[in-house]
Amino acid sequence: MTRMLIIGPPGSGKGTQAERICGELGIVAISTGDIFRANVKGETPLGLEAKQYMDNGDFVPDSVTNRMVRDRLAQDDVVDGFLLDGYPRTTAQVDELDDILATAGATLDVVVQLTADDEELVKRLHGRAQDTGRSDDTEAVIRHRLDLYREQTEVVVARYAERGILAKVDGLGDIDDVTARVMDAIRGA
């Protein structure tokens, strides 16, 4: 059983790798971005609220995101382990996750940080914009999301490094090679 996080800047391959890792480990992937996008598509109250932030590349407010993750982690399918993709992104979200896990008597096994340079990230997200037309993959919004990562999420990464559970993985290169590196990091944790 593994409880883990995958963190990285937009375009670093979090969603891509999360799916593969969960397939290998038999655990459930929980992507806050995917949950928000599904709600936007379904025009739910949560989706209508999230959309205004997502389209600009801003974070959805912590209060909204934290409640959503708390509800999701209360479901039965996480008992055999889970991978959180894209959460936590702020220190307030780290505190919330700590509280959720402490209440459940659970701890995190490993936090994988995927790294890639900005030039590659922008190139990948431009490619995705052409394939999927995601509204937050335009040049200005991509830059803003990268800035937010530096300003608010790098400190999250530092917190997990201090706890000794951070595994930094090079996200550049062939997708299969990155998966192999991530799996090595998990096994070595």
Interface ranges with ligand B4P (CB under 6 A): 10-16, 32-33, 36, 53-54, 57-60, 65, 86-87, 89, 93, 124, 127-128, 136, 145, 175, 178
Q: 60 among the known binding-site residues?
A: yes
Tokens representing residue 126 in the block: 């431009």
Annotation marks residue 89 as catalytic: yes
Annotation marks residue 128 as catalytic: yes
Annotation marks residue 187 as catalytic: no
Q: Report, in Å, the least distance between residue 52 CB and ligand B4P.
A: 10
Residue in 3, 51, 72, 145 annotated catalytic? 145
For ligand B4P, which is the closer residue by CB, 1 or 177? Answer: 177
Annotated binding site for AMP: 32, 37, 58-60, 86-89, 93, 134, 145
Residues labelled catalytic? 14, 89, 128, 134, 145
